[in-house]
């Protein structure tokens, strides 16, 4: 288990490992399926913030239109480098990381959100903390310094009178957090579900805050696409955003079915995902069009945390032209749900 203390220079090195000015040999933005359809790979992590990615993958298997094949990653530096190298032309990504890539010169746009809320602050079950002041001097895991979880916790620390050095932050891949809490290698963590709920249902941890308690309508992850894909295949981007939107609408009213679809993609217990999706207020997949004010709030916090050096205008990183005017539920054939993908 690799628990790394926050070291900003080191984090920058991880994310900046691939220079956008010296990309690998040109790759096609799309590939073809066996039946001749366009196929686009879309990156995601196994968190419920990204649930609409596997649902869209599952639904598009049997459609006559574009195929959106989800590609799973376990750590944010891997996602960033895959996107910068051109291996991915579209991916879900933590919002501040998307801003950092923009600042580094990566040509891309945020086109939609992945979710609302969907993250939780966990402490050990025997921890008596009632707020962040109880965690002073303790070790707190976050998924990345480039995450909104980190920015929001910094703001909450400030509101509760804590200094930047009062909590020891470490970066840890989300799937490793529950085990680290159980082993007492960390004292708390803030992460996308179901990695918080796993500690809760196993009796290792308890909820200190849900994201909505700290920042109502919380945004963690966004859907990012390359400018190249937008320029060359705008209809594919339109179809992707519509697919994500319709998958979210379907998931809102088919939460148990969504858990069954997602479980094999995540390689996680279906019961755990159902627990998260059926807990009122824990995660939502509606109202996913990003607004100027909320995105600029993220920009301002990212500047304050020295993730980016100066504010980035909304028009430079946000493109809402692909958001559908009317969002209907996706058509999801449940025949193979829970069995696909098999490996």
Tens of each residue's pLDDT in the chain, 343 residues: 656 565 443 444 445 544 444 444 467 889 999 999 999 999 999 999 999 999 999 999 988 889 999 999 998 999 999 999 999 999 999 999 999 999 999 999 999 999 999 999 999 999 999 999 999 999 999 999 999 999 999 999 999 999 999 999 999 999 999 999 999 999 999 999 999 999 999 999 999 999 999 999 999 999 999 999 999 999 999 999 999 999 999 999 999 999 999 999 999 999 999 999 999 989 999 999 999 999 999 999 999 999 999 999 999 999 999 999 999 999 999 999 988 987 6
Q: How many domains does the chain have?
A: 2
What pLDDT does residue 23 have?
47
**Domain match, 91 and 232 both:** yes
**Domain match, 223 and 332 both:** yes
Q: Kindly report the backbone phi and psi dihedral angles of residue 324, in degrees, each rounded to the nearest multiple of 5, phi listed first.
A: -70, 145
- Please say which residue of 179, 214, 249 terminates a domain: 214
**Domain match, 270 and 320 both:** yes
Q: Examine residue 5 and state whether it is found in any structural domain, yes or no.
A: no
What pLDDT does residue 1 have?
60
**Domain match, 256 and 187 both:** no
**Domain match, 254 and 291 both:** yes
Q: Which domain holds residue 166?
A: 119-214
What pLDDT does residue 143 have?
93
Helices 52-60 and 255-266: crossing angle in degrees, nearest 10, is 90
What pLDDT does residue 27 have?
73
- Please say which residue of 158, 185, 214 terminates a domain: 214
**Domain match, 322 and 300 both:** yes
Q: Residue 169 maps to which CATH number?
A: 3.40.190.10
Token output for 5:
């203390």
**Domain match, 172 and 232 both:** no
Neighbouring residues of 46: CB distance < 8 A, sequence distance ≥ 6: 72, 74, 174, 175, 265, 266, 267, 268
Count of residues making up the chain: 343
Upper half-sphere CA count for residue 186 (Cβ side, 13 Å):
32
**Domain match, 108 and 229 both:** yes
* Residue pointed to by tokens 């965690």: 135
What pLDDT does residue 281 have?
87
């Amino acid at each position: 288990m690799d628990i790394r203390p926050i070291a900003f220079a080191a984090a920058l090195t991880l994310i900046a490992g691939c220079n956008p000015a010296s990309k690998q040999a040109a790759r096609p933005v799309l590939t073809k399926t066996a039946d001749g359809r366009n196929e686009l790979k879309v990156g995601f992590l196994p968190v419920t913030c990204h649930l609409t990615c596997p649902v869209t993958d599952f639904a598009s298997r049997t459609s006559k239109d574009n195929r959106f094949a989800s590609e799973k990653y376990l750590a944010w530096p891997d996602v960033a480098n895959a996107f910068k190298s051109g291996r991915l032309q579209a991916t879900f990504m933590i919002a501040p990381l998307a801003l950092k890539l923009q600042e580094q010169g990566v040509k891309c746009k945020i086109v939609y959100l992945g979710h609302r809320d969907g993250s939780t602050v966990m402490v050990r079950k025997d921890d008596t903390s009632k707020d962040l002041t109880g965690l002073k001097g303790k070790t707190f895991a976050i998924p990345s310094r480039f995450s909104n979880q980190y920015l929001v916790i910094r703001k909450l620390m400030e509101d509760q009178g804590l200094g930047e050095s009062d909590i020891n932050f470490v970066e840890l891949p989300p799937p490793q957090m529950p085990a680290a809490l159980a082993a007492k290698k960390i004292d708390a963590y803030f992460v996308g579900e179901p990695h918080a709920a796993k500690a809760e249902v196993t009796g290792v941890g308890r909820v200190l805050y849900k994201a909505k308690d700290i920042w109502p309508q919380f945004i963690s992850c966004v859907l990012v696409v390359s400018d190249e894909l937008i320029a060359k295949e705008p209809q594919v981007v339109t179809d992707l955003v519509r697919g994500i939107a319709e998958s979210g609408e379907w998931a809102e009213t088919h939460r148990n079915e969504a858990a069954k679809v997602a479980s094999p993609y995540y390689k996680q217990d279906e019961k755990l995902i159902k627990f998260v999706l059926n807990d009122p207020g824990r995660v939502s997949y509606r109202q996913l069009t990003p607004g100027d004010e909320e995105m600029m709030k993220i920009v301002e916090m990212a500047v304050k945390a020295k993730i980016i050096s100066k504010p980035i205008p909304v028009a430079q990183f946000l493109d809402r032209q692909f958001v559908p005017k009317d969002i209907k539920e996706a058509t999801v054939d449940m025949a193979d749900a829970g069995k696909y993908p098999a490996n």
